[in-house]
Chains A and B, each alone.
Chain A
Amino acid sequence: MAHIEEHKETQIAQTEKQNYVMLNLGKTPDYGMPAFIQVVKRSLSLELLKGLGVTFREMINGLFRGKMHTTKYPFEKLPIAPRYRAIHEMLRLLESGHYRCIGCGLCEKICISNCIAMETRYDENQRKEVSEYTINFGRCIFCGYCAEVCPELAIVHGGRYETAGEQRAGFSLFEDMLTPIDKLKEQKEFAGFGSVSPNADENIKKTPLAY
Protein backbone atom coordinates (compact mmCIF):
# COMPACT_ATOMS: atom_id res chain seq x y z
CA MET A 1 0.00 0.00 0.00
CA ALA A 2 2.89 2.30 0.65
CA HIS A 3 3.66 2.87 -2.96
CA ILE A 4 0.07 3.86 -3.66
CA GLU A 5 0.32 6.52 -0.98
CA GLU A 6 3.59 7.63 -2.47
CA HIS A 7 1.92 7.94 -5.80
CA LYS A 8 -0.84 10.07 -4.39
CA GLU A 9 1.72 12.57 -3.19
CA THR A 10 3.05 13.28 -6.65
CA GLN A 11 2.25 16.52 -8.26
CA ILE A 12 0.27 15.00 -11.10
CA ALA A 13 -2.08 13.22 -8.80
CA GLN A 14 -2.74 16.45 -6.97
CA THR A 15 -3.27 18.73 -9.92
CA GLU A 16 -5.35 16.30 -11.95
CA LYS A 17 -8.31 15.35 -9.86
CA GLN A 18 -8.66 11.70 -10.59
CA ASN A 19 -11.27 9.91 -8.62
CA TYR A 20 -10.98 6.25 -9.27
CA VAL A 21 -13.52 4.42 -7.19
CA MET A 22 -12.89 0.86 -6.22
CA LEU A 23 -16.09 -1.11 -6.63
CA ASN A 24 -16.64 -3.85 -4.14
CA LEU A 25 -19.08 -6.09 -5.93
CA GLY A 26 -18.57 -9.01 -3.61
CA LYS A 27 -19.31 -12.53 -4.64
CA THR A 28 -22.19 -13.06 -7.03
CA PRO A 29 -24.65 -15.48 -5.49
CA ASP A 30 -25.49 -18.41 -7.72
CA TYR A 31 -29.01 -19.41 -6.82
CA GLY A 32 -31.58 -19.47 -4.13
CA MET A 33 -32.53 -16.67 -1.81
CA PRO A 34 -29.32 -14.61 -2.06
CA ALA A 35 -29.64 -14.44 -5.84
CA PHE A 36 -33.27 -13.46 -5.54
CA ILE A 37 -32.45 -10.76 -3.02
CA GLN A 38 -29.75 -9.42 -5.29
CA VAL A 39 -32.13 -9.24 -8.23
CA VAL A 40 -34.76 -7.42 -6.21
CA LYS A 41 -32.19 -5.05 -4.77
CA ARG A 42 -30.78 -4.21 -8.15
CA SER A 43 -34.18 -3.78 -9.74
CA LEU A 44 -35.46 -1.51 -7.00
CA SER A 45 -32.36 0.65 -6.91
CA LEU A 46 -33.03 1.26 -10.63
CA GLU A 47 -29.50 0.48 -11.71
CA LEU A 48 -30.61 0.11 -15.31
CA LEU A 49 -31.87 3.68 -15.37
CA LYS A 50 -28.47 4.92 -14.25
CA GLY A 51 -26.98 3.37 -17.36
CA LEU A 52 -29.56 5.15 -19.47
CA GLY A 53 -28.75 8.36 -17.65
CA VAL A 54 -25.06 8.10 -18.48
CA THR A 55 -25.63 7.64 -22.19
CA PHE A 56 -28.15 10.47 -22.26
CA ARG A 57 -25.75 12.77 -20.45
CA GLU A 58 -23.05 11.95 -22.95
CA MET A 59 -25.45 12.73 -25.78
CA ILE A 60 -26.25 16.13 -24.28
CA ASN A 61 -22.54 16.73 -23.74
CA GLY A 62 -21.78 15.85 -27.31
CA LEU A 63 -24.62 17.70 -28.95
CA PHE A 64 -24.93 20.87 -26.92
CA ARG A 65 -21.72 21.29 -24.99
CA GLY A 66 -19.40 20.84 -27.93
CA LYS A 67 -17.75 17.70 -26.72
CA MET A 68 -17.96 15.67 -29.90
CA HIS A 69 -15.01 13.40 -30.37
CA THR A 70 -15.21 12.90 -34.10
CA THR A 71 -12.36 14.13 -36.26
CA LYS A 72 -13.52 14.25 -39.85
CA TYR A 73 -10.35 12.56 -40.88
CA PRO A 74 -9.53 13.34 -44.46
CA PHE A 75 -10.59 16.94 -43.89
CA GLU A 76 -9.23 17.40 -40.40
CA LYS A 77 -6.09 15.86 -39.06
CA LEU A 78 -4.89 15.39 -35.57
CA PRO A 79 -1.39 16.69 -34.91
CA ILE A 80 1.12 13.92 -34.60
CA ALA A 81 3.83 13.72 -31.99
CA PRO A 82 7.18 15.23 -32.99
CA ARG A 83 8.94 11.96 -32.39
CA TYR A 84 6.74 10.21 -34.88
CA ARG A 85 8.67 8.61 -37.71
CA ALA A 86 6.76 9.43 -40.89
CA ILE A 87 7.91 10.18 -44.46
CA HIS A 88 11.37 11.66 -44.54
CA GLU A 89 12.24 15.25 -45.23
CA MET A 90 15.54 16.77 -46.28
CA LEU A 91 16.26 20.02 -44.51
CA ARG A 92 18.12 23.12 -45.66
CA LEU A 93 20.61 25.33 -43.94
CA LEU A 94 18.77 28.29 -42.53
CA GLU A 95 21.43 30.84 -43.44
CA SER A 96 22.22 30.00 -47.01
CA GLY A 97 19.27 27.94 -48.05
CA HIS A 98 21.60 25.26 -49.38
CA TYR A 99 20.65 21.71 -48.58
CA ARG A 100 22.31 20.32 -45.51
CA CYS A 101 23.26 16.93 -46.85
CA ILE A 102 27.01 16.64 -47.31
CA GLY A 103 26.78 13.36 -49.14
CA CYS A 104 28.62 11.40 -46.49
CA GLY A 105 26.63 8.27 -47.27
CA LEU A 106 26.13 7.20 -43.66
CA CYS A 107 22.41 6.95 -44.07
CA GLU A 108 22.80 4.74 -47.10
CA LYS A 109 25.16 2.51 -45.16
CA ILE A 110 23.04 2.17 -42.07
CA CYS A 111 19.70 1.70 -43.71
CA ILE A 112 18.74 -1.78 -42.69
CA SER A 113 16.31 -2.36 -45.46
CA ASN A 114 18.71 -1.00 -48.01
CA CYS A 115 16.27 1.41 -49.52
CA ILE A 116 18.34 4.58 -49.72
CA ALA A 117 20.21 4.94 -52.98
CA MET A 118 22.50 7.90 -53.56
CA GLU A 119 25.18 9.10 -55.90
CA THR A 120 27.58 11.93 -55.24
CA ARG A 121 30.18 13.83 -57.20
CA TYR A 122 32.48 16.82 -56.77
CA ASP A 123 31.13 20.06 -58.00
CA GLU A 124 33.19 22.93 -59.39
CA ASN A 125 34.21 24.04 -55.87
CA GLN A 126 35.40 20.56 -55.04
CA ARG A 127 32.53 20.21 -52.64
CA LYS A 128 30.59 17.01 -52.49
CA GLU A 129 27.28 17.38 -54.22
CA VAL A 130 24.37 14.96 -54.11
CA SER A 131 23.43 14.15 -57.67
CA GLU A 132 20.96 11.34 -57.02
CA TYR A 133 19.14 10.56 -53.83
CA THR A 134 16.10 8.33 -53.60
CA ILE A 135 14.35 6.45 -50.85
CA ASN A 136 12.25 3.46 -51.81
CA PHE A 137 9.29 3.83 -49.52
CA GLY A 138 7.99 0.48 -50.61
CA ARG A 139 10.78 -0.99 -48.54
CA CYS A 140 11.47 1.56 -45.85
CA ILE A 141 10.40 0.34 -42.45
CA PHE A 142 10.61 3.80 -40.86
CA CYS A 143 13.09 2.65 -38.31
CA GLY A 144 14.62 6.08 -38.03
CA TYR A 145 18.24 4.98 -38.16
CA CYS A 146 19.01 7.24 -41.09
CA ALA A 147 17.81 10.27 -39.18
CA GLU A 148 19.72 9.22 -36.14
CA VAL A 149 22.99 8.67 -37.90
CA CYS A 150 22.98 11.78 -40.05
CA PRO A 151 25.76 14.09 -38.78
CA GLU A 152 24.24 17.19 -40.35
CA LEU A 153 20.62 16.72 -39.22
CA ALA A 154 19.87 16.74 -42.93
CA ILE A 155 17.56 13.79 -43.23
CA VAL A 156 14.74 13.84 -40.70
CA HIS A 157 11.30 12.44 -40.35
CA GLY A 158 8.45 14.73 -41.34
CA GLY A 159 4.80 14.66 -40.53
CA ARG A 160 3.31 13.18 -43.66
CA TYR A 161 2.00 9.83 -42.56
CA GLU A 162 -0.47 8.88 -45.29
CA THR A 163 1.78 6.54 -47.16
CA ALA A 164 -0.70 4.45 -49.09
CA GLY A 165 0.39 4.13 -52.68
CA GLU A 166 -0.83 2.55 -55.85
CA GLN A 167 2.48 1.15 -56.91
CA ARG A 168 4.72 -1.34 -55.33
CA ALA A 169 7.77 0.79 -55.50
CA GLY A 170 7.08 4.23 -54.19
CA PHE A 171 10.30 6.12 -54.72
CA SER A 172 10.84 9.52 -53.40
CA LEU A 173 13.34 11.82 -55.00
CA PHE A 174 15.63 14.23 -53.25
CA GLU A 175 13.70 17.20 -54.62
CA ASP A 176 10.41 15.89 -53.30
CA MET A 177 11.72 15.58 -49.79
CA LEU A 178 13.70 18.78 -49.77
CA THR A 179 12.10 21.75 -48.05
CA PRO A 180 10.92 24.13 -50.78
CA ILE A 181 13.08 27.21 -50.77
CA ASP A 182 10.17 29.56 -50.19
CA LYS A 183 9.07 27.55 -47.17
CA LEU A 184 12.45 27.86 -45.55
CA LYS A 185 11.11 30.07 -42.80
CA GLU A 186 8.65 27.42 -41.74
CA GLN A 187 11.20 24.67 -41.60
CA LYS A 188 11.22 23.00 -38.21
CA GLU A 189 13.96 21.09 -36.54
CA PHE A 190 13.20 17.46 -35.92
CA ALA A 191 12.85 17.04 -32.20
CA GLY A 192 14.40 13.71 -32.64
CA PHE A 193 14.18 10.09 -32.26
CA GLY A 194 12.64 9.32 -28.87
CA SER A 195 11.86 12.90 -27.90
CA VAL A 196 8.76 13.48 -25.86
CA SER A 197 5.76 15.33 -27.20
CA PRO A 198 5.36 18.94 -26.06
CA ASN A 199 2.22 18.15 -24.07
CA ALA A 200 3.66 15.03 -22.50
CA ASP A 201 3.13 16.32 -18.98
CA GLU A 202 -0.59 16.69 -19.50
CA ASN A 203 -0.88 13.20 -20.84
CA ILE A 204 0.66 11.44 -17.89
CA LYS A 205 -1.95 9.76 -15.76
CA LYS A 206 -1.69 7.66 -12.74
CA THR A 207 -2.67 4.13 -13.57
CA PRO A 208 -5.41 2.71 -11.41
CA LEU A 209 -3.50 -0.52 -11.04
CA ALA A 210 -1.22 -0.75 -8.07
CA TYR A 211 1.49 -3.22 -8.85
Chain B
Amino acid sequence: MDALMIGTIIKILIILLIVSAIAGFGTYIERKVLAFMQRRLGPMHVGPFGLLQIAADGIKLFTKEDIIPQNANKFIFSLAPTITAATAFIAMAALPLFPTFTIPEALPLIGGAIVPSVIADINIGILFILGTMAAGLYGPLLAGMAQSNKWGILGSARTAVQFLSYEVVTGLSVLAPIMLVGSLSLIDFNDAQIGGIGSWLIWQQPVAFILFLIAGFAETNRTPFDLLEHEAEIISGYVTEYSGLRWGMFFIGEYTNMVTISIIAAVVFCGGYNDIGFVSGWLLFILKVVFFFFLMLWVRAAWPHVRPDQMMWLCWKVLMPLAVVNVVITGIIIML
Protein backbone atom coordinates (compact mmCIF):
# COMPACT_ATOMS: atom_id res chain seq x y z
CA MET B 1 0.00 0.00 0.00
CA ASP B 2 1.36 3.35 -0.89
CA ALA B 3 1.32 6.48 1.20
CA LEU B 4 -1.71 7.96 -0.52
CA MET B 5 -3.79 4.85 0.02
CA ILE B 6 -3.10 4.82 3.76
CA GLY B 7 -3.78 8.52 3.84
CA THR B 8 -7.13 8.04 2.13
CA ILE B 9 -8.12 5.40 4.61
CA ILE B 10 -7.14 7.74 7.44
CA LYS B 11 -9.23 10.43 5.81
CA ILE B 12 -12.22 8.12 5.58
CA LEU B 13 -11.86 7.32 9.26
CA ILE B 14 -11.56 11.00 10.09
CA ILE B 15 -14.73 11.79 8.21
CA LEU B 16 -16.71 8.87 9.57
CA LEU B 17 -15.69 9.36 13.17
CA ILE B 18 -15.32 13.09 13.48
CA VAL B 19 -18.21 14.11 11.32
CA SER B 20 -20.62 11.70 12.95
CA ALA B 21 -19.39 12.94 16.31
CA ILE B 22 -19.91 16.52 15.11
CA ALA B 23 -23.36 15.58 13.94
CA GLY B 24 -24.16 14.37 17.42
CA PHE B 25 -22.50 17.37 18.96
CA GLY B 26 -24.52 19.57 16.62
CA THR B 27 -27.67 18.76 18.54
CA TYR B 28 -26.01 20.03 21.70
CA ILE B 29 -24.76 23.19 19.99
CA GLU B 30 -28.16 23.77 18.49
CA ARG B 31 -29.92 23.52 21.80
CA LYS B 32 -27.36 25.77 23.45
CA VAL B 33 -27.47 28.43 20.76
CA LEU B 34 -31.24 28.44 20.58
CA ALA B 35 -31.35 28.70 24.35
CA PHE B 36 -28.91 31.61 24.46
CA MET B 37 -30.88 33.45 21.82
CA GLN B 38 -33.93 33.18 24.01
CA ARG B 39 -31.87 34.07 27.08
CA ARG B 40 -32.10 30.60 28.53
CA LEU B 41 -29.26 28.38 29.64
CA GLY B 42 -30.00 25.23 27.67
CA PRO B 43 -28.83 21.81 28.83
CA MET B 44 -26.81 22.32 32.01
CA HIS B 45 -26.92 19.32 34.27
CA VAL B 46 -25.21 16.40 32.52
CA GLY B 47 -21.51 17.07 32.83
CA PRO B 48 -19.90 20.52 32.91
CA PHE B 49 -22.17 22.97 31.07
CA GLY B 50 -24.24 20.02 29.94
CA LEU B 51 -21.49 18.81 27.64
CA LEU B 52 -22.25 15.17 28.29
CA GLN B 53 -25.85 15.68 27.27
CA ILE B 54 -25.03 14.01 23.93
CA ALA B 55 -23.90 10.88 25.75
CA ALA B 56 -27.09 10.87 27.78
CA ASP B 57 -29.17 11.36 24.66
CA GLY B 58 -27.24 8.63 22.89
CA ILE B 59 -27.89 6.18 25.70
CA LYS B 60 -31.52 7.18 25.68
CA LEU B 61 -31.84 6.64 21.94
CA PHE B 62 -30.08 3.29 22.05
CA THR B 63 -32.19 1.91 24.84
CA LYS B 64 -35.55 3.17 23.68
CA GLU B 65 -38.10 0.71 22.44
CA ASP B 66 -38.00 0.33 18.70
CA ILE B 67 -41.58 0.55 17.54
CA ILE B 68 -42.79 -0.46 14.10
CA PRO B 69 -46.48 0.31 13.63
CA GLN B 70 -48.70 -2.61 12.81
CA ASN B 71 -49.88 -1.52 9.39
CA ALA B 72 -46.58 -0.10 8.29
CA ASN B 73 -44.58 -1.56 5.48
CA LYS B 74 -41.88 -3.01 7.71
CA PHE B 75 -39.09 -3.35 5.17
CA ILE B 76 -39.36 0.17 3.77
CA PHE B 77 -39.95 1.53 7.25
CA SER B 78 -36.61 0.21 8.44
CA LEU B 79 -34.85 1.05 5.19
CA ALA B 80 -35.73 4.74 5.16
CA PRO B 81 -33.49 6.00 8.02
CA THR B 82 -30.46 4.25 6.58
CA ILE B 83 -30.99 6.04 3.26
CA THR B 84 -30.81 9.43 4.94
CA ALA B 85 -27.79 8.59 7.06
CA ALA B 86 -25.88 6.74 4.32
CA THR B 87 -26.37 9.32 1.56
CA ALA B 88 -25.29 12.06 3.92
CA PHE B 89 -21.97 10.31 4.44
CA ILE B 90 -21.59 9.28 0.79
CA ALA B 91 -21.87 12.94 -0.15
CA MET B 92 -18.97 13.63 2.18
CA ALA B 93 -16.73 11.44 0.01
CA ALA B 94 -16.28 14.17 -2.58
CA LEU B 95 -15.97 17.01 -0.11
CA PRO B 96 -12.63 18.67 0.54
CA LEU B 97 -11.86 19.11 4.20
CA PHE B 98 -8.56 20.79 5.06
CA PRO B 99 -5.49 21.02 2.86
CA THR B 100 -3.55 17.92 1.86
CA PHE B 101 -0.95 17.13 4.48
CA THR B 102 1.63 14.49 5.28
CA ILE B 103 1.66 12.78 8.61
CA PRO B 104 5.14 13.21 10.15
CA GLU B 105 7.45 10.20 9.79
CA ALA B 106 7.93 10.03 13.53
CA LEU B 107 4.54 8.47 14.12
CA PRO B 108 4.53 4.67 14.06
CA LEU B 109 2.49 2.74 11.48
CA ILE B 110 0.91 5.69 9.70
CA GLY B 111 3.99 7.93 9.50
CA GLY B 112 4.61 9.37 6.06
CA ALA B 113 1.07 8.81 4.85
CA ILE B 114 -0.26 11.57 2.62
CA VAL B 115 -3.75 12.54 3.71
CA PRO B 116 -5.52 14.00 0.67
CA SER B 117 -7.88 16.90 1.08
CA VAL B 118 -10.71 14.92 -0.49
CA ILE B 119 -11.36 11.18 -0.42
CA ALA B 120 -12.33 10.77 -4.05
CA ASP B 121 -11.36 13.70 -6.24
CA ILE B 122 -13.80 12.94 -9.02
CA ASN B 123 -13.87 15.83 -11.44
CA ILE B 124 -17.60 16.38 -11.04
CA GLY B 125 -17.42 16.76 -7.27
CA ILE B 126 -20.08 19.35 -6.65
CA LEU B 127 -22.68 17.69 -8.88
CA PHE B 128 -22.00 14.39 -7.16
CA ILE B 129 -22.52 15.94 -3.74
CA LEU B 130 -25.73 17.67 -4.70
CA GLY B 131 -26.98 14.53 -6.43
CA THR B 132 -26.38 12.29 -3.44
CA MET B 133 -27.88 14.79 -1.06
CA ALA B 134 -30.92 14.92 -3.30
CA ALA B 135 -31.12 11.13 -3.16
CA GLY B 136 -31.05 11.49 0.60
CA LEU B 137 -34.53 12.99 0.52
CA TYR B 138 -35.79 9.51 -0.34
CA GLY B 139 -35.37 8.82 3.35
CA PRO B 140 -38.12 11.18 4.51
CA LEU B 141 -40.24 10.34 1.48
CA LEU B 142 -40.20 6.59 2.05
CA ALA B 143 -40.43 6.97 5.81
CA GLY B 144 -43.59 9.00 5.51
CA MET B 145 -45.20 6.68 3.00
CA ALA B 146 -44.32 3.45 4.77
CA GLN B 147 -45.73 4.27 8.17
CA SER B 148 -49.43 4.37 7.23
CA ASN B 149 -50.00 7.47 9.27
CA LYS B 150 -51.67 10.50 7.81
CA TRP B 151 -49.13 12.89 9.24
CA GLY B 152 -46.41 10.76 7.72
CA ILE B 153 -48.10 10.87 4.31
CA LEU B 154 -48.42 14.63 4.60
CA GLY B 155 -44.76 14.79 5.52
CA SER B 156 -43.72 12.81 2.48
CA ALA B 157 -46.02 14.79 0.19
CA ARG B 158 -44.27 17.88 1.46
CA THR B 159 -40.92 16.20 0.88
CA ALA B 160 -41.81 15.76 -2.77
CA VAL B 161 -43.03 19.34 -3.02
CA GLN B 162 -39.94 20.70 -1.36
CA PHE B 163 -37.60 18.59 -3.43
CA LEU B 164 -39.19 19.58 -6.71
CA SER B 165 -39.03 23.24 -5.69
CA TYR B 166 -35.54 23.80 -4.38
CA GLU B 167 -33.59 21.39 -6.55
CA VAL B 168 -33.78 23.71 -9.56
CA VAL B 169 -32.56 26.64 -7.51
CA THR B 170 -29.61 24.72 -6.08
CA GLY B 171 -28.49 23.62 -9.52
CA LEU B 172 -28.90 27.00 -11.17
CA SER B 173 -27.29 28.92 -8.32
CA VAL B 174 -24.07 26.90 -8.37
CA LEU B 175 -24.05 27.00 -12.15
CA ALA B 176 -22.80 30.60 -12.27
CA PRO B 177 -19.73 29.96 -10.06
CA ILE B 178 -19.09 26.77 -12.04
CA MET B 179 -19.03 28.84 -15.22
CA LEU B 180 -16.55 31.26 -13.67
CA VAL B 181 -14.21 28.56 -12.41
CA GLY B 182 -14.70 26.32 -15.42
CA SER B 183 -14.67 23.10 -13.45
CA LEU B 184 -16.95 20.98 -11.32
CA SER B 185 -14.24 19.82 -8.97
CA LEU B 186 -14.30 21.41 -5.54
CA ILE B 187 -10.49 21.33 -5.47
CA ASP B 188 -10.47 23.62 -8.48
CA PHE B 189 -12.94 25.90 -6.77
CA ASN B 190 -10.59 26.11 -3.83
CA ASP B 191 -7.56 26.76 -6.02
CA ALA B 192 -9.37 29.47 -7.96
CA GLN B 193 -9.72 31.55 -4.79
CA ILE B 194 -6.15 31.29 -3.62
CA GLY B 195 -5.44 35.02 -3.62
CA GLY B 196 -6.88 36.15 -0.30
CA ILE B 197 -10.25 37.58 0.60
CA GLY B 198 -10.48 39.68 -2.54
CA SER B 199 -10.55 36.61 -4.75
CA TRP B 200 -13.45 34.94 -3.00
CA LEU B 201 -16.25 34.08 -5.37
CA ILE B 202 -18.81 35.63 -3.06
CA TRP B 203 -17.79 39.09 -4.29
CA GLN B 204 -18.31 38.13 -7.91
CA GLN B 205 -21.43 36.10 -7.30
CA PRO B 206 -23.36 37.58 -4.37
CA VAL B 207 -26.72 36.65 -5.84
CA ALA B 208 -25.66 33.06 -6.43
CA PHE B 209 -24.37 32.90 -2.88
CA ILE B 210 -27.66 34.00 -1.36
CA LEU B 211 -29.64 31.72 -3.63
CA PHE B 212 -27.40 28.82 -2.73
CA LEU B 213 -27.81 29.50 0.97
CA ILE B 214 -31.59 29.61 0.66
CA ALA B 215 -31.64 26.40 -1.35
CA GLY B 216 -29.22 24.86 1.12
CA PHE B 217 -31.59 25.59 3.96
CA ALA B 218 -34.32 23.85 2.00
CA GLU B 219 -32.02 20.96 1.21
CA THR B 220 -31.23 20.33 4.86
CA ASN B 221 -34.81 20.98 6.05
CA ARG B 222 -33.67 23.84 8.19
CA THR B 223 -36.10 26.22 9.70
CA PRO B 224 -37.62 28.58 7.23
CA PHE B 225 -38.27 25.49 5.13
CA ASP B 226 -38.67 22.63 7.56
CA LEU B 227 -42.01 21.69 6.11
CA LEU B 228 -41.36 17.99 6.40
CA GLU B 229 -41.59 17.84 10.15
CA HIS B 230 -43.23 21.07 11.10
CA GLU B 231 -44.54 20.26 14.57
CA ALA B 232 -47.25 22.86 14.67
CA GLU B 233 -48.88 21.64 11.50
CA ILE B 234 -48.21 17.96 10.99
CA ILE B 235 -47.13 16.60 14.40
CA SER B 236 -43.71 15.47 13.34
CA GLY B 237 -44.24 14.77 9.68
CA TYR B 238 -42.23 11.87 8.39
CA VAL B 239 -40.75 10.96 11.78
CA THR B 240 -44.09 10.74 13.57
CA GLU B 241 -43.90 6.97 14.04
CA TYR B 242 -40.17 6.66 14.51
CA SER B 243 -38.50 6.07 17.81
CA GLY B 244 -35.14 5.20 19.22
CA LEU B 245 -32.19 4.57 16.99
CA ARG B 246 -34.06 4.86 13.71
CA TRP B 247 -35.15 8.33 14.67
CA GLY B 248 -31.57 9.08 15.67
CA MET B 249 -30.33 8.07 12.23
CA PHE B 250 -32.57 10.64 10.58
CA PHE B 251 -31.03 13.25 12.77
CA ILE B 252 -27.46 12.17 12.18
CA GLY B 253 -28.27 12.46 8.48
CA GLU B 254 -29.78 15.91 8.90
CA TYR B 255 -26.86 17.28 10.88
CA THR B 256 -24.32 15.73 8.53
CA ASN B 257 -26.12 17.43 5.67
CA MET B 258 -25.88 20.70 7.55
CA VAL B 259 -22.13 20.24 7.86
CA THR B 260 -21.95 19.37 4.16
CA ILE B 261 -23.85 22.45 3.07
CA SER B 262 -21.68 24.61 5.33
CA ILE B 263 -18.54 23.13 3.80
CA ILE B 264 -19.80 23.62 0.24
CA ALA B 265 -20.68 27.22 0.99
CA ALA B 266 -17.23 27.75 2.50
CA VAL B 267 -15.38 26.10 -0.38
CA VAL B 268 -17.38 27.39 -3.32
CA PHE B 269 -18.00 30.95 -2.21
CA CYS B 270 -15.71 31.80 0.66
CA GLY B 271 -12.22 30.82 -0.29
CA GLY B 272 -12.09 27.24 0.96
CA TYR B 273 -9.07 26.22 3.00
CA ASN B 274 -6.55 28.65 1.57
CA ASP B 275 -4.25 30.50 3.93
CA ILE B 276 -4.72 34.23 4.20
CA GLY B 277 -1.40 35.85 5.02
CA PHE B 278 -0.06 34.07 8.07
CA VAL B 279 -3.42 32.70 9.25
CA SER B 280 -3.53 29.00 8.61
CA GLY B 281 -6.10 27.66 6.21
CA TRP B 282 -7.09 24.97 8.69
CA LEU B 283 -8.23 27.49 11.21
CA LEU B 284 -9.97 29.67 8.64
CA PHE B 285 -11.77 26.69 7.18
CA ILE B 286 -13.04 25.58 10.56
CA LEU B 287 -14.12 29.15 11.33
CA LYS B 288 -16.04 29.43 8.07
CA VAL B 289 -17.81 26.12 8.51
CA VAL B 290 -18.64 26.99 12.10
CA PHE B 291 -20.03 30.32 10.96
CA PHE B 292 -22.36 28.74 8.42
CA PHE B 293 -23.46 26.14 10.92
CA PHE B 294 -24.14 28.89 13.42
CA LEU B 295 -26.06 30.80 10.78
CA MET B 296 -28.43 27.87 10.38
CA LEU B 297 -29.14 27.81 14.11
CA TRP B 298 -29.39 31.59 14.24
CA VAL B 299 -31.96 31.63 11.48
CA ARG B 300 -33.92 28.97 13.29
CA ALA B 301 -34.09 31.19 16.35
CA ALA B 302 -35.11 34.27 14.40
CA TRP B 303 -37.37 33.41 11.52
CA PRO B 304 -40.76 31.77 11.24
CA HIS B 305 -41.65 28.84 9.03
CA VAL B 306 -43.07 29.25 5.58
CA ARG B 307 -46.09 27.40 4.28
CA PRO B 308 -45.61 24.86 1.49
CA ASP B 309 -47.33 27.11 -1.04
CA GLN B 310 -45.10 30.02 -0.01
CA MET B 311 -42.10 27.78 -0.45
CA MET B 312 -43.14 26.80 -3.98
CA TRP B 313 -43.96 30.41 -4.78
CA LEU B 314 -40.57 31.51 -3.51
CA CYS B 315 -38.60 28.86 -5.36
CA TRP B 316 -40.36 28.94 -8.68
CA LYS B 317 -41.44 32.53 -9.01
CA VAL B 318 -38.66 34.42 -7.27
CA LEU B 319 -35.50 32.41 -6.86
CA MET B 320 -35.52 30.50 -10.13
CA PRO B 321 -35.92 33.58 -12.36
CA LEU B 322 -33.25 35.33 -10.31
CA ALA B 323 -30.92 32.38 -10.75
CA VAL B 324 -31.55 32.22 -14.49
CA VAL B 325 -30.91 35.94 -14.87
CA ASN B 326 -27.77 35.56 -12.82
CA VAL B 327 -26.53 32.72 -15.04
CA VAL B 328 -27.27 34.67 -18.22
CA ILE B 329 -25.52 37.80 -16.97
CA THR B 330 -22.53 35.76 -15.84
CA GLY B 331 -22.40 34.17 -19.28
CA ILE B 332 -22.49 37.52 -21.03
CA ILE B 333 -19.75 38.90 -18.82
CA ILE B 334 -17.55 35.86 -19.42
CA MET B 335 -18.03 36.24 -23.18
CA LEU B 336 -17.11 39.91 -23.23
Q: How far apart sit A67 and B40, CA to CA, in the bound complex (Å)?
A: 9
Main secondary structure of the interface of A (DSSP, over half): helix
Partner of B298, one of A56, A61, A72: A56
Q: Say if the beta carbon of B41 comes within 8 Å of chain A.
A: yes
Contact across chains for B39 and A68 when beta carbons are under 8 A apart: yes
Can you name the residue of chain B whose Cβ is closest to the Cβ of A67?
A: B39
Chain A residues within 8 Å of B302, by CB = 51-52, 54-55
Chain B residues within 8 Å of A70, by CB = 39-41
A65: shortest Cβ distance to chain B, in Å? 10
Chain A residues within 8 Å of B122, by CB = none
- Tally the A-B contacts, defined by beta carbons under 8 Å: 41
Q: Say if the beta carbon of B44 comes within 8 Å of chain A.
A: yes
Q: Say if the beta carbon of A62 comes within 8 Å of chain B.
A: yes
Chain A residues within 8 Å of B298, by CB = 52, 55-56
> Which bracket fits the contact residues of B?
10 to 19
Q: How far apart sit A54 and B39, CA to CA, in the bound complex (Å)?
A: 12
Partner of B37, one of A39, A56, A67: A56
Residues from 1 to 56 in B contacting A, C-beta threshold 8 Å: 33, 36-41, 44
A126: shortest Cβ distance to chain B, in Å? 58
- Once A52-B298, A70-B41 are accepted as A-B contacts, the answer to whether A59 and B36 lie under 8 Å apart by CB is yes
Contact across chains for B37 and A59 when beta carbons are under 8 A apart: yes
- Once A39-B318, A48-B303 are accepted as A-B contacts, the answer to whether A55 and B40 lie under 8 Å apart by CB is no
A52: shortest Cβ distance to chain B, in Å? 5
Can you name the residue of chain A whose Cβ is closest to the Cβ of B295?
A: A52
**How many of chain A's residues have a CB under 8 angstroms from any CB in B?**
17
Chain B residues within 8 Å of A39, by CB = 318
Residues from 285 to 313 in B contacting A, C-beta threshold 8 Å: 298-299, 301-303
Q: How far apart sit A61 and B282, CA to CA, in the bound complex (Å)?
A: 31
Interface membership of chain A positions 137-160, coded 1 if the CB is closer than 8 angstroms to chain B and 0 otherwise: 000000000000000000000000
Q: How far apart sit A70 and B39, CA to CA, in the bound complex (Å)?
A: 7
Interface membership of chain A positions 45-82, coded 1 if the CB is closer than 8 angstroms to chain B and 0 otherwise: 00010011011101101110001111010000000000
Q: How far apart sit A130 and B84, CA to CA, in the bound complex (Å)?
A: 71
Contact across chains for A68 and B41 when beta carbons are under 8 A apart: yes
Chain B residues within 8 Å of A51, by CB = 302-303
Q: Of B33, B38, B318, which is in contact with the most chain A CB atoms at under 10 Å from its CB?
A: B38
Contact across chains for B44 and A55 when beta carbons are under 8 A apart: no
Chain B residues within 8 Å of A63, by CB = 36
Q: Of A55, A68, A72, which is in contact with the most chain B CB atoms at under 10 Å from its CB?
A: A55
A41: shortest Cβ distance to chain B, in Å? 14
Query: What are the 6 closest A-B residue pairs judged by CB atoms, nearest first?
Result: A62-B39, A70-B41, A55-B302, A51-B302, A55-B37, A59-B36
User: What is B's interface to A at a CB cutoff of 8 Å?
Assistant: 33, 36-41, 44, 298-299, 301-303, 318
